[in-house]
Amino acid sequence: GCGCGEAAPSGCDDTCGSTLADDDCGVCGGDGSTCVASLSLGAFDSSGTLEVLYDFGSASTGFQFDVTGLALTGGSGGAAGDAGFTVSTGGETVLGFSFSGSSIPAGSGVLTVLSFSDVTGATTDLSLGFSGAITDADGVPFSNQSAGGSVAHGDPDCSGDYYGDAVEDCAGVCGGDSALDDCGVCDGGNADQ
């Protein structure tokens, strides 16, 4: 026990008189943050880049998530790049891990910068998707993980380009050069009245 007539050690730390308990992450006396990992969207550049931000309660050895509405071509930089991760894309899925077993330390910032060749939908959405996960230092998915965020691209121009500037001329031709004359006639040639 803990002395004459006193109870045995108590609390998760086996210390006499302790009231410490395991947090939601299984850490004795913890604050519940070590098993939390989240992803969100950062800066979007219509010329071809999108930041993915992270907030990890402990080190991470890998991630897989989905980004819709873009024709993804790869990922680089950010904390994943600093940790020597390989970031690859296929369809709308993004996968990142290290061949050498390195990890991204706990913290927050830019996880990676995705590149894309085209905007393919009215919105770009970030999610864990069907089989996505963020793994901890042991390669096990964080027990409290999330991914979310959205970028609205507005309406496409007449050619279907979300950030294009093509417009229909007065003859209804996208990008055409027909124009109204002084009398309001399309390609009318300003005939005498």
Supply the mean pLDDT for the chain. 89
Helix (H/G/I), strand (E/B), else coil: 141: strand
The residue assigned the tokens 């296929």 is: 90
Region 90-98: what's the mean pLDDT?
Answer: 96
DSSP code string of 72-124 = EEEEE-HHHHHTT-EEEEETTEEEEE-TT---BPSEEEEEEEEEEEEE-SSEE
Please indicate whether residue 28 or residue 133 has the higher confidence score (pLDDT).
133
Pick 16 or 102 by higher pLDDT.
102
Output 191 or 188, whichever has higher pLDDT: 188
**pTM (two decimals):** 0.82
> For residue 2, how many other CB atoms are within 10 A of its CB?
12
Q: What percent of the chain has pLDDT over 70?
A: 91
Q: What is the pLDDT of residues 132-175, one digit of tens each?
A: 999 999 899 998 999 999 999 999 999 999 999 999 999 999 99
The whole-number average pLDDT for the span 34-58 is 95
Are residues 187 and 170 in contact, defined by beta-carbon separation less than 8 angstroms? yes
